Amino acid sequence: MPSRRSVLAGAGTLAGAGLAGCLNQDPAADVSPGTDADTEWPQPGGTDRYDCYLKDAAAPREEPSERWTAETSSPVGRPVVADGRVLLFTLGGLYAYDLESGEEVWRLDMDDVEVRTSPTVVDGTAYLGVAFPHGVLAVDVEDGSRLWHAELQRTPSTAPVVDHRRERLAVGTHGRLAGVDVEGEKLWSRRTFSSVSALTSWGDSIYAGTEGGELYCFYNYDDPRGRWRRQLDGTVEQIAQLNGSDIVVSVFGGPVERRDDSEAGASRWSRDTGFYGFVAAGNTYAVGHGLASISTRTGERHWTVDDGLRARPAGAGDTVYTGGEGFVAAFAMDGGIGVGDHRVGYERWRHGVDGEVFEGVSVADGAVFATAADENGATLYALE
């Protein structure tokens, strides 16, 4: 790879001036590496907001080593990391691995209970959707012992989300949104036009997206009331809440958009950048075969790099992590050096793995966690 000095010399004065103008406008220019090596990823979206971004988290910025690898079943969700465990929702059930050694500690086998969603961990308890009987199952994270099961009318279709008091949960199902408390008491149910495919919660607000493309905003966990509903152009894949009242949302095969909560979900901007997932920070980093950097505030596209990416991304500090066929990779949030899409130095590292990374990556405990799968099986990687 060419050095920074040679690239700047080759680019010339005009390109340098153009770059300076871009950096002055790009929020990523002020982002710093994370330093906290004691972070967790306790739910599929990383945080309550489902922004998949930990600003202060330490994670490898140079070529990593493998802390450990573990054979597993084909993944259905990204790793969840909390309380000394790495939890992975797979076709074979829910697997729990020791965070330091990678040793399998316990599992919920599909022959025993039919797991239907990734877990969300709150205060040492993992809450996940199961079927037959349909409902939410609470499991002790340390040893996998079952604490309670709350039966619901329909099969859960999303991981539960938790309210700001850590006392109540909401879970998406096939055609409904349901509420239970952390002791297993059923609280309420709200009808949706189709199966819930994306869910996020922050404070006392709940945002739900469906396979039919409906986007809902509810308020008040005690007795949720619909504030507004919008019809989008495809299955809702991800919803992330921003610091203010707005959200970023993506649909399958369609755009990534910012929507104004105070204007009943009206679109503020829309970008056709891909649909595998995104990190919502100062910029929104969307993965759809390539990686695109979009100003979260204005919707301006800063740059796109085409690297055959497929994994739902995670962000930590000044770096975005994702992957594809045979690799996990790290990308600089500022896009490296260049003008527009002509860039070098945007890739921090690329680590080879056995199979394709497609269900998403997570960042926790100073490491990146990803699962690669092919026709021969699947492997969970901890890279540090």
The larger pLDDT score, comparing residue 228 to residue 111, is at 228
Give percent above pLDDT 90 in the chain: 83
Q: Fill in the DSSP letter of residue 28.
A: G
Rounded to whole angstroms, how far apart are CA atoms 368 and 122? 21
**Whether the predicted pLDDT of 23 surpasses 50:** no
By the 8 A CB rule, do 384 and 62 touch?
no
By the 8 A CB rule, do 60 and 361 touch?
no
Which of 242, 260, 238, 267 has its CA nearest to residue 250? 238
Rounded to whole angstroms, how far apart are CA atoms 241 and 202? 7
Rounded to whole angstroms, how far apart are CA atoms 39 and 384? 13
pLDDT tens digit sequence for 280-325:
999 999 998 799 999 999 999 999 998 899 999 999 999 999 999 9
Q: pLDDT averaged over the chain?
A: 92
Q: Which residue has the tokens 């140079």?
A: 62
pLDDT tens digit sequence for 320-352:
999 999 999 999 999 988 887 788 889 999 999
Q: Fill in the DSSP letter of residue 173.
A: B
Q: Which residue has the tokens 């829309």?
A: 270
Which of 284, 205, 301, 218 has its CA nearest to residue 248? 284
Q: What is the model's pLDDT at position 24?
A: 47
Rounded to whole angstroms, how far apart are CA atoms 371 and 382? 9
The larger pLDDT score, comparing residue 367 to residue 262, is at 367
Q: Fill in the DSSP letter of residue 282.
A: S
Q: What is the model's pLDDT at position 339?
A: 83
Which pLDDT band, with edges at 50, 70 and 90, does 253 fall under?
Answer: confident
By the 8 A CB rule, do 330 and 61 touch?
yes
Domains contained in the chain, CATH given: 4-383 (2.130.10.10)
Rounded to whole angstroms, how far apart are CA atoms 357 and 373? 7
Rounded to whole angstroms, how far apart are CA atoms 378 and 128? 22
**Whether the predicted pLDDT of 9 surpasses 60:** no
Q: What is the model's pLDDT at position 25?
A: 67
| pTM (global) more than 0.95 | no
Which of 153, 128, 151 has its CA nearest to residue 139? 128
Q: Fill in the DSSP letter of residue 312.
A: P
